[in-house]
């Protein structure tokens, strides 16, 4: 290799202004044809490639683009389609592809869960009873497209067989690996025949501990690939943490090894074990998951240290992970303070940093001094700005003591006071918080933000929506109501707009699941409460009904995990600042008569480190922050929380330690499998396991919902159990929401009657 090269692992799919999202949703709504959808997304994909070429990236990924999810893409590439979708073989149609992800009128969607410890969601492969077959070589199609249309000899990307099968959570790992290996070889042979030089095979599962038997099987797979396609340069790409079985992985017969030097202790691995002389190191030194401009002097020092173990002709500079997890470009951010904007680096700016650093490795730091100086100046301006010099916040956090984070009575005594206050029926019904954000809601908010309607007119509109939905909820018969969150764009961004220490971007969107994009706020300084945020809407909603209305907040851990967090101070210090600010908001709600307050923590499991040795520190910090936020309320004030798709079996003790009075958890897409976690662990507080999936437009039957309720009641006492949907209803249409809630109430009433009959006996 003549020059040190720059590489990218993956690029955002959504377009600078979410053109991808709009095309998908227009297609799903029947407003554009499949041909128009594909033409639009083809143009976005080609523009992404063209831009990376212009930025000077040497190894440009192809095949990282998706119409929904790259794990689902891998499934359909191999004809892995659940039987309920009546797939007949051959290339999987777009209709079937989207049905697997979203469900249809006849079949439920496949399970969706978090991609490692990120807020990206993937579609879980269903491999049981399926005979895989290569029905479409997607990486080959994209490789040829880039070469023929743009003259780019790209780096095809595919999800590796070990990670793919592990993500399916199957018990037949060994036999499935044997089935899939020849299919992967076929994909790679066709790529080699088409002229591909480097191929990136993503195996992030290698950051988790594998058994010696599994490692031997991994070795056999890559030995088979090497023997079948020796001319192809395979990059075994890992990210999100250091490799767990480094010596075994480093010995695999591949040409390149990609390591994360930002989120994993990969430098320690090099220091302890060195790096193989027969491999190229793809060094992930620029943070692929956060948006702050890198301290390039530190990155130069890191690369210099790496070069004591790897010669520069075997060193390629790249991001720590796919840039899927960050927004596209800062160039459209015209409203941000220049102090803040100067400290940011979205995908395009990160690639610029990567290209600069790769030049520095090859030609020396002197050759890039101008770029280094620009980095120093921008970071200095931000670090010395008013945003990062709030002495009051730092003083408040330092004063915190143990009694600040405990309720005055244990749950068993609190719950009696709460039952007296609220007098709810057996199996009380509620929703998670948000209600449909219709086009009218979004358009009215947009007009208000643009100054086209007054503050008073906007507030009136929000109140009309609250009044409308309080009435709907009462007519349906729901026991505990919500105000609907019509004033909120996003459950985290909304608080980012209100707390000091945050900023909100204009186009800082990232994909969460499907076409759902979120715009994480920027935590750039010291976080502080300045004035009540949610009190006005909650109090208005409560004034319309005698039933309890939950105050709705996003929890400190979720705000942290779903924001782009400053990286100049310890992360847990930021967490405690957020918790303390929320504590003051919760006290304001309580002062104003709100007796149920839900503090959502859908991201608590997501933030769990992949390295088990770091888990306890994180969980302890998460529990402390939640209790710091919620512990100052009276004993008859009921604290709720909500958590999303995750595997909870390993953290039940920490969930219980949060000391929330009621927890609701998404369960329907996993078909009640999460209930097994509560079978093996005693949970003494109240709980709602979601009885229907709100991420699909399909409304389940009453019998399906009753089945889900009764399944849970085999493990959880009826006196502990709440009935609710899986998650917030923000993304659903009004008619779907009303129909789904009506069915849920019918199911709850029937089960309630049967349970009361049992109790009375």
70 annotated to bind ligand: no
727 annotated to bind ligand: yes
Nearest to 210 by CA among 263, 163, 164, 271: 163
3-state DSSP percent of the chain in helix, strand and coil, to 5: 50, 15, 40
Nearest to 155 by CA among 168, 164, 146, 165: 146
Nearest to 136 by CA among 175, 81, 86: 81
390 annotated to bind ligand: no
Quote the CA–CA distance of 64 and 69 in Å, as a whole number.
Answer: 10
Question: CB under 8 Å to 389, separation ≥6 — which residues?
Answer: 525, 526
268 annotated to bind ligand: no
119 annotated to bind ligand: yes
20 annotated to bind ligand: yes
42 annotated to bind ligand: no
93 annotated to bind ligand: no
Quote the CA–CA distance of 730 and 695 in Å, as a whole number.
Answer: 10
Quote the CA–CA distance of 575 and 303 in Å, as a whole number.
Answer: 31
114 annotated to bind ligand: yes
702 annotated to bind ligand: no
644 annotated to bind ligand: yes
19 annotated to bind ligand: yes
| 56-91 CB burial, b ≥16 within 10 A, e <16 | ebbbbbbbbbbbbbbbbbbbbbbbbbbeebebeeee
651 annotated to bind ligand: no
642 annotated to bind ligand: yes
**Would you call 695 a catalytic residue per the annotation?**
yes
Residues 137/187, Cβ–Cβ less than 8 Å = yes
Phi-psi region of 337 (alpha: psi -120 to 50; beta: other; left: phi over 0): beta
Name beta bridge partners: 22: none
293 annotated to bind ligand: no
Q: In which residue are the tokens 């709602």 written?
A: 688
DSSP structure class, residue 284:
E
571-591 helix and 535-543 helix, angle to the nearest 10 degrees: 30
| 148-159 CB burial, b ≥16 within 10 A, e <16 | eebebebbbbbb
Residues 11/45, Cβ–Cβ less than 8 Å = no
Instruction: Choose, from 263, 325, 483, 695, the residue flagged as catalytic.
Output: 695
- DSSP for 638-696 reads EEEEEE-S---GGGHHHHHHT--SEEEE--GGGTTTTHHHHHHS---SEEEE--S-TTS
Tell me if residue 234 falls in helix, strand or coil.
strand
DSSP structure class, residue 368:
G
Question: Please, which contacts does 122-125 make with residues 24 or more away whose CB atoms are closer than 8 Å?
Answer: 122/69, 122/70, 122/71, 122/72, 122/167, 123/68, 123/69, 123/71, 123/72, 123/75, 124/71, 124/167, 124/168, 124/169, 125/71, 125/74, 125/75, 125/80, 125/164, 125/165, 125/167, 125/168
Binding residue numbers for L-methionine: 432-434, 485, 600
Catalytic residue ranges: 695
Binding residue numbers for 5-methyltetrahydropteroyltri-L-glutamate: 18-21, 114, 119, 516-517, 562, 606
Binding residue numbers: 18-21, 114, 119, 432-434, 485, 516-517, 562, 600, 606, 642, 644, 666, 727
Binding residue numbers for Zn(2+): 642, 644, 666, 727
Binding residue numbers for L-homocysteine: 432-434, 485, 600
């Amino acid at each position: 290799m003549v020059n040190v090269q720059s590489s990218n692992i993956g690029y955002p799919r959504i377009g600078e202004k979410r053109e991808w999202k709009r095309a998908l949703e227009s297609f799903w709504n029947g407003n554009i044809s499949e041909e128009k959808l594909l033409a639009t997304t083809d143009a976005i994909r080609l523009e992404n490639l063209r831009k990376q070429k212009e930025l000077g990236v040497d190894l440009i990924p192809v095949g990282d683009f998706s119409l929904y999810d790259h794990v689902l893409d891998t499934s359909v590439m191999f004809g892995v389609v659940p039987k309920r979708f009546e797939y007949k073989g051959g290339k999987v149609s777009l209709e079937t592809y989207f049905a697997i992800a979203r469900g249809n009128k006849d079949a439920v969607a496949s399970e969706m869960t978090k991609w490692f410890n990120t807020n990206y969601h993937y579609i879980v492969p269903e491999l049981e009873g399926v005979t895989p077959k290569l029905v479409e070589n997607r990486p080959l199609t994209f490789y040829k497209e880039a070469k023929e249309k743009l003259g780019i000899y790209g780096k095809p990307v595919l999800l590796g067989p070990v990670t793919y099968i592990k993500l399916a959570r199957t018990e037949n790992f060994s036999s499935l690996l044997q089935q899939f290996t020849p299919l992967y070889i076929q994909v790679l042979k066709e790529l080699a025949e088409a002229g591909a030089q480097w191929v990136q095979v993503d195996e992030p599962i290698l950051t988790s501990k594998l058994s010696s038997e599994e490692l031997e099987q991994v070795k056999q797979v890559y030995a088979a690939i090497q023997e079948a396609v020796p001319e192809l340069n395979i990059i075994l790409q890992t990210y999100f943490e250091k490799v767990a079985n480094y010596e075994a992985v480093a010995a695999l017969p591949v040409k390149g090894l990609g390591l994360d030097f930002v989120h994993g202790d990969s430098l320690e691995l090099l220091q302890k074990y060195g790096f193989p002389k027969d491999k190229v190191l793809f060094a992930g030194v620029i943070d692929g998951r956060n948006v702050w401009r890198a301290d390039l002097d530190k990155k130069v020092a890191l690369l210099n240290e790496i070069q004591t173990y790897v010669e520069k002709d075997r060193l390629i500079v790249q991001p720590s992970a796919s840039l899927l997890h960050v927004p596209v470009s800062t160039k459209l951010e015209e409203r941000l303070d220049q102090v803040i904007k100067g400290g940011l680096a979205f995908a395009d700016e990160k690639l610029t940093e990567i290209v600069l650093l790769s030049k520095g490795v090859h030609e020396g730091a002197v050759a890039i001094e101008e770029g280094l100086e620009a980095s120093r100046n921008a970071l200095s301006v931000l670090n010395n700005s008013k945003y990062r010099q709030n002495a009051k916040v730092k003083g408040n956090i330092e004063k915190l003591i143990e009694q600040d984070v405990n309720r005055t009575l244990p749950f068993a005594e609190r719950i009696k006071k709460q039952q007296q206050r609220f007098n709810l029926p057996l199996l009380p019904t509620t929703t998670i918080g948000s209600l449909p954000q219709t086009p009218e809601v979004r358009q009215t908010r947009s007009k208000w933000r643009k100054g086209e309607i007054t503050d008073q007119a906007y507030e009136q509109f929000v109140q009309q929506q609250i009044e409308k939905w309080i009435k709907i909820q009462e007519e349906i018969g729901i026991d505990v109501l919500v105000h609907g969150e019509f004033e909120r764009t996003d459950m985290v961004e909304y608080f980012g707009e209100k707390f000091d220490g945050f900023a909100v971007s204009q186009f800082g969107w990232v994909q969460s699941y499907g076409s759902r994009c979120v715009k994480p706020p920027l935590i750039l300084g010291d976080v502080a409460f300045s004035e009540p945020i949610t009190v006005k809407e909650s109090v208005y909603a409560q004034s319309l009904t005698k039933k309890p209305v939950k105050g709705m907040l996003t929890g400190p851990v979720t705000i942290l995990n779903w924001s782009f967090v400053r990286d100049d101070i310890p992360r847990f210090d930021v967490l405690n600042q957020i918790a303390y600010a929320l504590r003051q908001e919760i006290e304001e709600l309580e002062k104003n008569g709100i007796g149920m307050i839900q503090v959502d923590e859908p991201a608590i499991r997501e933030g769990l480190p992949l390295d088990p040795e770091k888990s306890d520190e994180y969980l302890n910090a998460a529990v402390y922050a939640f209790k710091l936020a919620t512990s100052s309320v009276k004993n008859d004030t009921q604290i709720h929380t909500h958590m999303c798709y995750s595997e909870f079996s390993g953290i039940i003790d920490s969930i219980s330690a949060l000391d929330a009075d009621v927890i609701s958890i998404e369960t329907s897409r996993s078909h009640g499998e999460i209930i097994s976690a509560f079978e093996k662990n005693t949970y003494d507080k109240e709980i709602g396991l979601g009885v229907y999936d709100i991420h699909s437009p399909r409304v389940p039957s009453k019998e399906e919902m009753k089945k889900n309720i009764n399944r849970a009641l085999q493990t959880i006492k009826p006196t502990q159990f709440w009935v609710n949907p899986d998650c917030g209803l923000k993304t659903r249409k009004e008619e779907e929401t009303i129909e789904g809630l009506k069915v849920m109430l019918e199911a709850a009433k029937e089960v309630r009657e049967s349970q009361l009959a049992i109790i009375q006996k």
